[in-house]
Amino acid sequence: MADEKKFAGYICTGCGIGERLDAGQLETTAKRDGKLAEVKQHEMLCGKEAIQMIRDDIANEGITHLMLAACSRRAKVEAFTFPEVAISRANLREGVIWLRPDEDDNRETTQEMADDYIRMACAEVKYMNKPVPSGEQELNKTLLVVGGGMTGMTAAVEAAKAGYPVQLVAEEPELGGVWTDLYKRVPFQAAAKDVPNGRDVDLPQPEDPGVETLAAEVAANDKVTVHLNAKITKTSGAPGRFSVDIGTESGGTATENVGAIIQASDYKPYDAGQLPEFAYGKTPDVVTGFELEKLAKEAAGGPIKRPSDGKEVKSVAFIQCAGQRSDKEGHLPYCSGFCCTESIKQAMYFKEQNADCDATVLFDDLRTPGAAGEDFYRAAQQAMVTFSKGKATEVVADGGLKVKFKDLILDEDTELDCDLVVLATGQVPNVGPDPYAQLAVEEAEDEEEKAKAQALLENAPPSILNLDYRQGTDLPQLKHGFVDSHFICFPYETRRTGIYAAGPVRRPMDMKQAMEDAVGATMKAIQAVENAGQGRAAHPRVGDLSYPTFRKEGCTQCKRCTVECPFGAINEDEQKYPLFNESRCRRCGTCMGACPVRVISFENYSIDTVGQQLKNVEVPDEFEEKPRILALACENDAYPALDMAAQAGEELTPWARVIPIRCLGSVSLSWVTDALNSGYDGIVLMGCRRDDDYQCHFVRGSAMAAERMSKVGDTLQSLNLEPERVAIYEVAITDTKRAPQLINDMAETVDKIGMSPFKF
């Protein structure tokens, strides 16, 4: 049976389908137009009996391709799982009868809609194949961890505990990274004992930083290989088969093969030299929080001395948000999230040593979230640290130190004398250059633009990963230079498959969070390794075994696929042909949509699986006055919105034919052209939001589509068609009223401008 395709169709007559539609007619359509040899009806196709019937048919008749006409492909998924065959589903319940009013007047058009969905599903499955792994997959359980700080060390130790070997690369001569100088850390746990109405007895106190302990654990772990004073000079390959060149200070290079990568490059302390208003640099007695840790460590439990004269500090002021939460040039616009508890901890260093030392924290909003955070704040209050809601404006170093500030409670300008000022400065992500800054140089349209892009790039930091990727050397960045991810529900998804960012490189955070973040990133890296080993896709199309292939003889080496892939998955060979890296691919199909010569396809999703659907819709001639509107809807948002519109009893025009697509980015212009040429009267494209707050699960797919579709005007013009016939919208999953309305609007537009002249 190896290559022989055997098709069968099953039509459900349950849930009102049988009452609302002529099932005999549907069966005839499937046989006559869909060319299915075998078509069966069942009154409850998802029931045990029918499922067994289908299973038996697969086993006994050697069925390889199933067309199931029942409910939405989102419903009854567990029942309709037949892993050994290719399946298409015609959505007769949500897609037809639930969206159409049950009236005699509508019977004919509703039936036509259903017949078309049968034709479409038959056409789709004919061009589908059940995907099988390519054979390219490799299992390599070793993880590369980049960064020797608490984030990286935690990742290494946790991976090892799960049985995965680690190559850890650190730039520094010893482990610890930015945390090396810590005297103590902010406590990880809240108070255990509750004292109703009494004084708290066991509030958390500053604790051992644990850096040395963890470093010793890493060093002693035989599953972890540590490369110190080392940098990554080249990373090539893909999940499951990365090859990494590690350069050492001595000039030697080691090449390691790894399955996945964790970038734990942490942060760089903000350069306080940009804060002259606080006299930083003018006097050694104004220090940053990072520098105070060194002073505290040197004091080793004794009195902290001020740098200028070695005198014991009797009064100290902490200026929160120094150079942060500010739109001034050179300041950080964001909050670094860790500085409030850091200053609390440092104020307690002074109080611990000398209860009479005045420690004042000047803050705007004190941010100590959670149970441990708030308890630690209480601990400082118990230790008599002074918290003052005030905005520091200036530090005057004139013999002593004077902090001028606006007291926000008393609403007056005032000042404070002290021996030492600590600036709670922020974290700057330790990243390489943004790949899209690199692409911008290449894509620049004129010399001026190129020069600008080049200048930006030259100011960028050196690469951390040195990826040998078509789309740049490092992880893409988001706002403020932090790397992916931007998703709320999927915090680890980056645009470089198999490479996970952990710790302050992806958002500012404290040590506890960085260590927890490392555990999660390690989980994802392990998962990536396991999935790559089986040729299965990573999030969000987890488990998908399909992968993109291309017909080389048709390829024009235009490079659009290699540039537009949101995941930088496609490289180019010496002749500029695309080199797909299957395990870097997320199966969104953006490459397929980008390809002007239609040579890219997946076994279960291709130009034909969609193109043949739209071509197999029956387009009545002009005089029947039955327009046809094609809607291509993102399978994750717009399509579910239409399903839920159906549940809610919304109405959809009977002229609509909806096809779910993986991502708007996968839409080929040829589908649009074909549809227009076949006499469709209108086309509605529904994808996800595409700006800074993008909701496209393939990040740039929806944006790419919008860009491409801006050129649809040319096609329309060449066909002498009105521009209104093609519309592209951002649709959210909650748009249960709006999604059908947009399609209905197109029906109205067609009503106004008239039918397409391209009906044959």
Among 6, 14, 269, 615, binds another protein (CB under 8 A): 14
Could you say whether residue 343 binds another protein (CB under 8 A)? no
Q: Which residues of 38-75 are buried (b: 16+ CB within 10 A; e: fewer)?
A: ebebbeebbeeebbeebeebbeeeebbbbbbbbbbbeb
Give 182 or 191: the residue with its C-beta nearer to another protein.
191
Could you say whether residue 160 binds another protein (CB under 8 A)? yes
Could you say whether residue 369 binds another protein (CB under 8 A)? yes
Indicate the SS3 state at residue 468.
Answer: coil
Among 76, 184, 345, 587, binds another protein (CB under 8 A): 76
Q: How far is CA 178 from the centre of its chain?
A: 27
Token code pair at residue 644: 């839920």
Could you say whether residue 81 binds another protein (CB under 8 A)? yes
CB of 724 to another protein, least distance (A): 27
Which residues, 714 to 733, sit near another protein by CB under 8 A? 732-733
Among 491, 548, 654, 687, binds another protein (CB under 8 A): 491
Among 557, 621, 734, 757, binds another protein (CB under 8 A): 734
Q: Which stretch binds another protein (CB under 8 A): 334-342, 397-405, 441-449, 677-685?
A: 334-342
Among 112, 285, 517, 582, binds another protein (CB under 8 A): 517
Q: Which stretch binds another protein (CB under 8 A): 102-110, 275-283, 469-477, 520-528?
A: 520-528
Among 115, 171, 291, 375, binds another protein (CB under 8 A): 375
CB of 368 to another protein, least distance (A): 6
Q: Report d(CA 135, CA 611) in Å as an integer.
A: 28
Q: Report d(CA 726, CA 536) in Å as an integer.
A: 36
Could you say whether residue 330 binds another protein (CB under 8 A)? no
HSE value, Cβ hemisphere, 13 Å, CA-based, for 541: 24
The vertex-426 CA angle with 424 and 431, nearest 5°, equals: 160
Could you say whether residue 294 binds another protein (CB under 8 A)? no
Could you say whether residue 391 binds another protein (CB under 8 A)? no
What DSSP element (H or E) covers 518? helix 511-534
Letters for 527-556 (x = contact with another protein by CB under 8 A, - = none) are x--xx--------x-xx-------------
Which residues, 590 to 619, sit near another protein by CB under 8 A? none
242-248/86-91 β-pairing: unpaired
Which residues, 551 to 580, sit near another protein by CB under 8 A? none
Cβ count near 351 (within 10 Å)? 20
Among 616, 736, 744, 749, binds another protein (CB under 8 A): 736
Give 188 or 577: the residue with its C-beta nearer to another protein.
188
CB of 519 to another protein, least distance (A): 3
Could you say whether residue 101 binds another protein (CB under 8 A)? no
CB of 325 to another protein, least distance (A): 6
Q: Which stretch binds another protein (CB under 8 A): 116-124, 371-379, 452-460, 578-586?
A: 371-379
Could you say whether residue 458 binds another protein (CB under 8 A)? no
Could you say whether residue 631 binds another protein (CB under 8 A)? no
CA torsion angle for 73, 77, 83, 84 (degrees, to 10)?
Answer: -50
Give 260 or 440: the residue with its C-beta nearer to another protein.
260
Token code pair at residue 366: 């004190």
Phi/psi-derived region of residue 239, left when phi > 0, alpha when psi is between -120 and 50, beta in every other case? beta
HEC secondary structure over 474-506 = CCCECHHHCECCCCCCCCCCCCCCCEEECHHHC
Give 203 or 232: the residue with its C-beta nearer to another protein.
203
CA torsion angle for 252, 255, 260, 266 (degrees, to 10)?
Answer: 0
Give Rg (Cα) of the chain. 31
Among 8, 11, 68, 71, binds another protein (CB under 8 A): 71
CB of 699 to another protein, least distance (A): 13
Give 341 or 756: the residue with its C-beta nearer to another protein.
341
Could you say whether residue 674 binds another protein (CB under 8 A)? no
Give 126 or 586: the residue with its C-beta nearer to another protein.
586
CB of 595 to another protein, least distance (A): 26
Q: Report d(CA 469, CA 571) in Å as an integer.
A: 6
Residue 290 has φ and ψ, to the nearest 5°, of -65, -40
Q: Which stretch binds another protein (CB under 8 A): 32-40, 142-150, 153-161, 702-710?
A: 153-161
Q: Report d(CA 225, CA 228) in Å as an integer.
A: 10
Could you say whether residue 520 binds another protein (CB under 8 A)? yes
578-580/570-572 β-pairing: antiparallel
Residue with structure tokens 């069942």? 42
Could you say whether residue 519 binds another protein (CB under 8 A)? yes
DSSP class of residue 95?
A: I
Token code pair at residue 427: 């974290």
Residue 245 has φ and ψ, to the nearest 5°, of -95, 125
Q: Report d(CA 715, CA 295) in Å as an integer.
A: 69
Contact 703, 745 (CB under 8 A): no
Could you say whether residue 53 binds another protein (CB under 8 A)? no
Letters for 687-716 (x = contact with another protein by CB under 8 A, - = none) are -xx---x-x-x-------------------
Which of 379, 323, 330 is CA-nearest to residue 351?
379
Could you say whether residue 266 binds another protein (CB under 8 A)? no
Peptide bond into 485 cis (omega under 30): yes
Q: How far is CA 596 from the centre of its chain?
A: 27
Could you say whether residue 647 binds another protein (CB under 8 A)? yes
Q: Report d(CA 603, CA 546) in Å as an integer.
A: 6
Q: Which stretch binds another protein (CB under 8 A): 8-16, 54-62, 139-147, 605-613?
A: 8-16
Which residues, 197 to 256, sit near another protein by CB under 8 A? 197, 221-223
